[in-house]
């Protein structure tokens, strides 16, 4: 384990204290570190390296280690060295910044054998900046080494990639992450249960930095007697209790709709966010998938919950519609849950279960509905919102509201087309990129709030990454043959004047 670094008595964050200082201390990236170690031992140093992979897996740490070992310098702390220069491409992404860099690389190192430039988040460079950097990578001075790091390889031009030695790092496995966290906890004298370690590792999402920072945060809430327990992690992170998650899954399997509703109501009152609960459900169902493949359909449906403008209601309907009917004295067919998918935009619409019962059950149900309607009339509730009929929609009102309150959302919507059918508002985004942006939770939430404000809430929203097809059937077929298009109105030519 890495030796702890003291900071003049001040407390150092755990992720910095336990940052690796040599290639031997890098966890779960042996496929890359073994090659780098052999190259260094043989004196084979490339003029440019490219390190790619998810956030928090050690790209920057490895870049710093590599820079020190290339120059055979000790790396015991984070003090800067004159010949190791770190550049944040997010803040220095212009062509002038790279041109200045190109001038500076011509200057020989101050004391080390090589001048090493670490360019973090290199994908943030502009196209012109990449072109300027390319000229330096093609003919670099002998005393210069570039180490480029990025989370988004697809944004780096192929011309840059081809002139580097590329090392792809992968997300850290949960078992490796949990084991590493346990070593840190032992080193820090932090009492923690294995269950809590597993949850933190899962929440870390393959990132050392995220998981270690979370462990650091939780250590401040733990008491000396119990330490960090599963219950402490769940309450601190706003998780639903594991028992409640399992109760929901069991209720779905048993078709216990009332239990699903009551459990969700209780969790909502406790402040559990529906998106977090959905993540927990997906995680638990995924672990059961090898033994119970039937959960694949439910997982697929749950993936739509975070994109809904009504995530709490969407979660409820998703679980209820997935609940299997329970056999009783009346003949009941198996519930049919169908998922309709658009081949272009892949929106998912889940239909209600189809259940066949005898007439006596229907009569009982009608009696129950009439009683419910009477109760609702006698005890009105303010939580029911008024909405406009589903066969009408005021798109201009939506644009006007978002223009005043959500400028970014308005800029996307103003170039979209729309259609309303059966309570489903279909938004034609024109491009897949626009659809991806509009599907982000931030904009979906703003869109739902905007619809509520203009009195048209409650609509199901479906986004499609193409333009709206022409209404005319012949034009639609022509547009399909030609690869798509949108319908435009052409003014009739004026009659030729005499």
Annotation: CATH topology of 395-481: GMP Synthetase; Chain A, domain 3 (3.30.300)
Q: What is the pLDDT of residue 157?
A: 93
DSSP character at residue 226: T
For the segment 41-49, the average pLDDT, to the nearest whole number, is: 92
- Domain map (residue ranges) of the chain: 14-168, 174-237, 242-333, 395-481
How far apart CA 114 and CA 101 sit, in angstroms, is 16
Q: What is the pLDDT of residue 219?
A: 87
Tell me the average pLDDT of the chain: 79
For the segment 156-172, the average pLDDT, to the nearest whole number, is: 92
The model carries a pTM of 0.56
Q: What is the DSSP string of 385-401?
A: PP---TT---HHHHHHH
Exposure b/e, 307-316, CB count within 10 A at least 16 = b: bbbbbbebbb
Cα 329 to its chain centre, rounded Å, is 46
Q: Give residue for tokens 């309570």.
A: 423
- Tens digits of per-residue pLDDT, 418-451? 988 877 889 998 888 888 888 888 888 888 888 8
Q: What is the DSSP string of 124-153?
A: GS-HHHHHHHHHHHHS--TTEEEEEEES-G
Strand, helix or coil at 209?
helix
Give the closest residue to 203 by CA, choosing from 153, 251, 169, 237. 237
Q: What is the pLDDT of residue 50?
A: 95
Report H helices in 71-193: 95-104, 127-138, 158-161, 174-188
Q: What is the pLDDT of residue 99?
A: 86
| Contacts for 313 with CB less than 8 Å, ≥ 6 apart | none
Contact present, 83 and 115 (Cβ < 8 Å): yes
The alpha carbon torsion through 87, 88, 90, 94 (nearest 10 deg) reads: -10
Q: What is the pLDDT of residue 251?
A: 93
Q: Which CATH number is associated with domain 14-168?
A: 3.40.50.300
**Helix-strand-coil split of the chain, %, nearest 5:** 50, 10, 40
- pLDDT band at residue 477 using 50, 70 and 90 as cut-offs: low
For the segment 449-459, the average pLDDT, to the nearest whole number, is: 82
Contact present, 486 and 467 (Cβ < 8 Å): yes
Phi and psi at 89, nearest 5°, equal -65, -20
Give the closest residue to 394 by CA, choosing from 306, 454, 305, 323. 454
How far apart CA 63 and CA 48 sit, in angstroms, is 11
Q: Is the pLDDT of residue 58 over 60?
A: yes
225 compared with 482, residue with greater pLDDT:
225
In this prediction, what percent of the chain has a pLDDT beyond 90? 30
Tell me the CB-side half-sphere exposure of residue 26, using CA atoms within 13 A: 25
How far apart CA 99 and CA 132 sit, in angstroms, is 7
Phi and psi at 110, nearest 5°, equal -70, -45
Beta bridge partners of 192: 228
Contact present, 68 and 84 (Cβ < 8 Å): yes
Give the tokens for residue 29: 């990236």
Q: What is the DSSP string of 20-72?
A: --SGGG--S-HHHHHHHHHHHHTT---SEEEEE-STTSSHHHHHHHHHHHHTT
Which strands, in side-by-side order, build the sheet including 115-120? 84-88, 115-120, 144-150, 48-52, 165-168
Cα 456 to its chain centre, rounded Å, is 28
Strand, helix or coil at 464?
strand
DSSP H helix total and E strand total for the chain: 21, 10
Q: Which CATH number is associated with domain 174-237?
A: 1.10.8.60
Say what angle helices 311-322 and 274-288 make with each other, to 10 degrees.
Answer: 30
């Amino acid at each position: 384990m890495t030796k702890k670094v003291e900071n003049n008595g001040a407390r150092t964050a755990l992720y910095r204290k336990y940052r690796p200082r040599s290639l031997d201390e890098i966890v779960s990236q042996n496929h890359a570190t073994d090659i780098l170690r052999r190259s260094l031992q043989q004196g084979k140093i490339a003029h440019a390296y490219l390190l790619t992979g998810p956030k928090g897996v050690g790209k920057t740490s490895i870049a710093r280690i590599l820079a020190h070992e290339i120059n055979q310098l000790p790396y015991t702390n984070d003090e800067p060295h004159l010949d190791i220069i770190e550049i944040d491409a997010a803040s220095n992404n212009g062509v002038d910044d790279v041109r200045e860099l190109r001038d500076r690389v011509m200057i020989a190192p101050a004391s080390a054998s090589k001048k090493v430039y670490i360019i973090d988040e290199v994908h943030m460079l502009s196209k012109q900046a990449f072109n300027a950097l390319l000229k330096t990578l093609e003919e670099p001075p002998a005393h210069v080494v570039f180490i480029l790091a990025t989370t988004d390889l697809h944004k780096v031009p192929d011309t840059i990639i081809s002139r580097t030695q590329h090392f792809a790092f992968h997300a850290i496995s949960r078992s490796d992450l949990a084991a590493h966290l346990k070593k840190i906890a032992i080193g820090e004298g932090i009492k923690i249960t294995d269950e809590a370690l597993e949850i933190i590792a899962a929440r870390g999402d393959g990132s050392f930095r995220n998981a270690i920072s979370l462990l650091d945060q939780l250590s401040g809430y733990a008491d000396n007697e119990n330490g960090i327990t599963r219950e402490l992690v769940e309450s601190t992170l706003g998780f639903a209790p594991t028992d409640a998650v399992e109760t929901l899954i069991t209720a779905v399997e048993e078709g216990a709709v009332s239990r699903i509703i009551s459990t969700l109501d209780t969790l909502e009152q406790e402040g559990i966010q529906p998106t977090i609960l959905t993540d927990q459900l997906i995680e638990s169902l995924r672990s059961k998938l090898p033994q119970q493949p039937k959960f694949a359909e439910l997982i697929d449906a749950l993936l739509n919950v975070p994109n809904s403008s009504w995530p709490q209601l969407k979660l409820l309907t998703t679980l209820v519609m997935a609940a299997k009917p329970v056999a009783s004295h009346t003949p009941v067919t198996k519930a049919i849950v169908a998922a309709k998918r658009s081949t272009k935009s892949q929106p998912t619409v889940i239909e209600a279960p189809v259940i066949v019962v005898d007439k006596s059950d229907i009569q009982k149900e009608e009696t129950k509905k009439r009683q419910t309607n009477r109760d609702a009339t006698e005890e009105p509730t303010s939580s029911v919102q008024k909405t406009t009929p589903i066969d009408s929609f005021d798109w201009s009102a939506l644009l006007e509201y978002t223009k005043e309150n959500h400028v970014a959302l308005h800029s996307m919507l103003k170039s979209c087309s729309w259609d309303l059918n059966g309570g489903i508002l279909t938004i034609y985004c024109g491009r897949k990129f626009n659809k991806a942006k509009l599907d982000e939770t931030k904009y979906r939430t703003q869109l739902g709030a905007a619809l509520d404000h203009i009195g048209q809430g409650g609509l199901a929203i479906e986004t499609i990454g193409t333009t709206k097809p022409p209404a005319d059937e012949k034009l639609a077929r022509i547009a399909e043959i030609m690869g798509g298009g949108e319908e435009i109105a052409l003014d009739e030519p004026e009659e030729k004047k005499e």
